[in-house]
Amino acid sequence: MTIAFNQVAVIGAGAMGRGIAQIAAQAGSQVWLYDTQADAIQKAKEAVFQVWESLATKGRLDADTVNAYKSRLNGASTLNDLKSCELVVEAIVERLDIKKSLFVELENLLPETAVLVTNTSSLSVTAIAAALKRPANFAGYHFFNPVPLMKVVEVIAGLKTNPAVCERLTEFATQMGHTPVQANDTPGFIVNHAGRGYGTEALRIVSEGVADFATIDRILKDQVGFKLGPFELFDLTALDVSHPVMESIYNQYYQEPRYRPSVITAQRLAGGVVGKKVGEGFYTYVEGKPVIAPEPPVPEVKEFPPVWVSPRASRRLELLQLLKDLGATIETGASPSPQALTLVAPLGFDVTTVAVVERLDPARTVGIDMLFDDAATKRRVLATNPATRSDMRDAAHALFAKDGKAVSVVRDSGGFITQRVVANIVNIAADMCQQRVCTPQDLDIAVTLGLGYPVGPLALGNKLGPTNVLEVLFNLQTVYGDPRYRPSPWLRRRGAIGLSLLQTED
C-alpha cells in the first residue's frame, strides 16, 4: 500500500497533536513533531512511546512493530526541519491570528505541492487560508479527543480548497485507521453543529422547571439510549469549554434561535461550577464519582381507578395493550367515567392543552410519552398538568411501574422531555443537510462516531417516522411560539412525500 503522505509534520504537541502524530506514525509516515515549547515535544514523544509499550505489554503489538513506530516519530527543533514534509497538520492554540501567520510562514518554507491542514474545531478554514498564496492546498482536518480512540475525522473544504486535496486527505485518514467524513466549511462543521440539539434543549427544559438535571439525564439515557445524559456530558466536557462553543456557534449563525445558549451555563461558568474537573458541576463529585440523589419512590396505591385512554393518543393500540398487560381496568366509553384516570399521549402538545381541547377533566388527566415504542425503552415518562390531582398522579405512576419498569413524572411542558430533545436533534441534522454541510450518510456516521449517539440523527428520525417528528415540532412551535422549533424545509418535504431521511438525491 502506498501511503498518501510519506513525510508528515504535526505542529503543536498538545493533547491533539500527539494523538495525530501517533496514528500517522502507525500508518507508516515519517512524522515530525514541532512545538514552540521544547519540552512539549519530548513529553509528547514519551507519552506516545508509553502507549505503544503498554500495548506491547498487553500483547496487542509486537516488539518489532513498536520499534518501527518509534523510529518514525521524530522531534523537530525548528520549522526549518519541516521543509521536506508533504503534509503539515496544525494543532496549536485556537487563535485565528496565530494560526494564519504560522501557515504563511510554512507556505514560504515548504514545496508548492505541500498540503497544509488545520485541526481547528471552531475557526473558519476559509478565514485561516485567506492570507495564503495557495489556498487550494489548504483544508481542515478535524480530529476528536482522544485521537487514537475517536476514530472519525472531518475533512473540511474551504471556499478555495482543491477537491483533490480532500480526496488525498480522505485516503490518508483511512490509512490511519480513521473514518473520514466530508464537510463544507461552516460553523461547527458536522459534529459540533449536530451536537447543538442535545444540551441546549435539555438546558431549556431545566430552565422551565419541567424536571431536574438528574431526571432529564435518566430519561434521555433510558428512553433513547444515550450513553451520557446531557448534564453528565456538560460535567465531563466542562462548561469553560462547552459554553463558549454554544455561544460561538449561535453567534456565527447570526443568533439562529435553534442554537440559543442558556443563562444557566453562563451563570455556572461565571461561578466556577464548571464540571467534574473542579469537583462540582451539575453534579457534585466525591472521589471522582457523582453524588446522585435517589429517585422518588413509587407511591403506594391500594386501589387503582379505571383508566380511559384518549382516542387521539399516539400509539393508542400499544398503550391499550400495555395497560392490559399491567392489569388495568380499561374503560371503553366515548368519554371517561367520573372516576377514571384519563390518559392522553400527545406529540408536541402539552397535557393541559390536550385536556382543554378534548374537553377532559384536567384534574384527572395525566400524559404519557409514547413517541418511542414502549418495548424499546427502559423508562416511561408521565406528565401532569397544573390541575392534576395527586391521587391521579400517584395512581398513574404506580400503575405504569407495576412491571418493574422505571417511571419518571415530570411537569407539563409540551413534548415531555424526550420528544423535545429528539425532535431538535433530528431537525438540526435535517437543516444541516438542507445547507449542504455534508451528505446525510456522513452526518450520521460523524455523529455516531464523534458523539457516541446510539444511532445517527437521521436514522433516529426514520425510526420514529419523519411525520411524527414533524408533528412534535409543529405542535411545539404552537405551544411555545418560538422559532427554534420551526421544522427545516428539508424535513418537511421528506415527511410530506414519505421519503427516508437518508435518501441523498433531490
Which positions are annotated as active-site residues? 121, 142, 154, 192
Residues 22, 26, 29, 121: which binds ligand NAI (CB under 6 A)? 121
Q: Tell which residue, 392, 396, 428, has the closest CA to residue 322.
A: 396
Nearer to ligand NAI, 117 or 428 (CB): 117
Strands 179-184 and 115-118: what pairing? Answer: unpaired
Is residue 17 at the binding interface for ligand NAI, with CB under 6 A as the rule?
Answer: yes
Q: Is 94 in the site for ligand NAI (CB under 6 A)?
A: yes
Which of 40, 61, 347, 464 lies at the binding interface for ligand NAI (CB under 6 A)? 40
Query: Nearest approach, Cβ of 405 to ligand NAI (angstroms)?
Result: 37
Q: How far is the CB of 232 from ligand NAI (least distance, A)?
A: 17
- End-to-end Cα separation, the chain, in angstroms: 37
Least distance (Å) between residue 203 CB and ligand NAI = 21
Size of interface with ligand NAI, in residues (CB under 6 A): 23
From residue 142 to residue 181, the character string flagging contacts with ligand NAI as x (rule: CB under 6 A) and all else as - is -xxx------------------------------------
| Residue 37 binds ligand NAI (CB under 6 A) | yes
Q: Decide whether 13 or 396 has the Cβ nearer to ligand NAI.
A: 13
Q: Is 93 a binder of ligand NAI (CB under 6 A)? A: yes
Type of residue numbered 397: H
Using CB under 6 A as the binding rule, whether residue 102 contacts ligand NAI is answered as yes
Question: Are the C-beta atoms of 470 and 219 separated by less than 8 Å?
Answer: no
Q: DSSP letters along 356-404, please?
A: HHTT--GGGEEEE--SS-GGG-SEEEEE--TT--HHHHHHHHHHHTTTS
Q: CA 192 to CA 208: how far, in whole Å?
A: 25
Q: How many CB atoms lie within 10 A of CB 111?
A: 9
- The least distance separating ligand NAI from the CB of residue 429, rounded to whole angstroms, comes to 20
Residue 77 near ligand NAI by CB under 6 A: no
Does the footprint of ligand NAI cover residue 98 (CB under 6 A)?
yes
75 is an interface residue for ligand NAI by CB under 6 A: no
DSSP string, 446-505: HHHHHH--SS-HHHHHHHH-HHHHHHHHHHHHHHH--GGGPPPHHHHHHHHHT--TT---
User: In this structure, are residues 225 and 454 in contact, taking their beta carbons and an 8 Å threshold?
Assistant: yes
Residue 60 and residue 51: Cα distance in Å, rounded? 11
- Considering only 36, 74, 441, 448, the residue that binds ligand NAI (CB under 6 A) is 36
List residues binding ligand NAI (CB under 6 A): 11-17, 35-37, 40, 91-94, 98, 102, 119-121, 143-145
